[in-house]
Amino acid sequence: MFTENKFFRMAVIRVFLVIGLILADLDDTMGFLRKREKSEQELDNEAREAVFNQLDTDQDGYLSLEELQTGYGSTTDGVKEKIARDLDKADTNEDGYLEFDEFNPTH
């Protein structure tokens, strides 16, 4: 009876150990995913900033329609109009310029 009990207890302990390992692993995985998500976002921000600074040729912190059109190398009226429409859409405070917060080249 005593030995049976001991085996049972060992089995229970083993089950808890396995559950503990799975949970620890899951936590690691979640932490890894969170970290990755964050670094991707940071990367995205850096890329966005680099593009913004490249387009902002007079470095005033705002992208004018001309800067956008020149930066994107638009030669045809169609492309120029599209950029003007995109600027209009992205320009949420409607000052006619894109500041960094309004600038999202992936959209």
Q: Which of 56/69 has CB closer to Ca ion?
A: 56
- The answer to the question of residue 60 lying near Ca ion (CB under 5 A) is yes
- The answer to the question of residue 56 lying near Ca ion (CB under 5 A) is yes
- The answer to the question of residue 54 lying near Ca ion (CB under 5 A) is no
Rounded to an integer, what distance in angstroms lies between the CA atom of residue 104 and that of residue 43?
14
**Contact call for residues 86 and 93 (beta carbons, < 8 A):** no
Closest approach, Cβ 86 to Ca ion, in A, equals 13
- The answer to the question of residue 88 lying near Ca ion (CB under 5 A) is no
Distance of CA 68 to the CA centre of its chain: 23
Rounded to an integer, what distance in angstroms lies between the CA atom of residue 97 and that of residue 107?
17
Residues that bind Ca ion (CB under 5 A): 56, 58, 60, 62, 91, 93, 95, 97
